[in-house]
Amino acid sequence: MMAPPACGSLPAHPGECRFAGPLSPDSLMMAHNILERELSQALYTGGLAGVVAKNTARALNVHFREEEQTVFPLISLIPWLPGGRALPEAEDVQILNYRLAAAMPGLLEDHRIVTETFMDIAEASRTGDGGRLARFSDLLRLHMRTEEQIHFPAAILTGETLEAGLEGHRSLRLYFRRL
């Protein structure tokens, strides 16, 4: 009998995969997967709150995929920062930086819209089945705040540092001004 797969990308349910110790660099993907699973459970909430949540869930799904394609690749290069491994090709990093810069305003706007929508839904349904939505709303805001304050700046810093061999403070200052 084959052993269950390692918990690399989506260890969603007990028995679905085996725990393989420290996670691979997929930890951020897993954080998204966990949130999406929490949301899928919360979507059983009925009424208007459930309908609005389902519509917003689609937007959130698109948003997560966008982050995974623009922010995560640069974050995965953190070990290449000076003092780490040999630098990757500057042109490759340049493309990633360009994509991130193009996506960043939209990502921040998504955060604002999605968190506000879920806060409104959660506020309206803090009791009964809606409690799950409220819990999801809290987890989502915590996740997005951490991205805005740590992961996005880390991606910008890493990208600029690797591209130019400079401490990437120019875009970092602009980013924080935008916040």
Residues that bind another protein (CB under 8 A): 7, 11, 13-15, 19, 21-23, 25, 27-28, 30-31, 34, 37-38, 75, 78-79, 81-84, 116, 119, 122, 126, 129, 131-132, 134-135, 138-139, 141-142, 145-146, 148-151, 153-154, 157, 161, 167, 172, 176-177, 179
CB of 74 to another protein, least distance (A): 11
How many other CB atoms sit within 10 Å of the CB of residue 22?
Answer: 5
Cβ-based nearer residue to another protein, 63 or 130:
130
Q: What is the DSSP letter of 147?
A: I
Q: How far, in whole angstroms, is CA 109 from its chain's centroid? A: 14
Nearer to another protein, 41 or 55 (CB): 41
Strand partners for 27? none
Of 128, 141, 149, 155, the C-alpha closest to 42 is 128
Q: Do 125 and 49 form a contact (C-beta atoms < 8 A)?
A: yes
By C-beta, is 101 or 172 nearer to another protein? 172
DSSP assignment letter at 148: I
CB of 23 to another protein, least distance (A): 4
Shorter beta-carbon distance to another protein: residue 82 or 89: 82
Query: Min. distance of Cβ 99 from another protein in angstroms?
Result: 19
Output the smallest distance, CB 95 to another protein, in A. Answer: 21
CA distance 33 to 108: 20
**Token output for 134:** 């409220």
DSSP 25: T
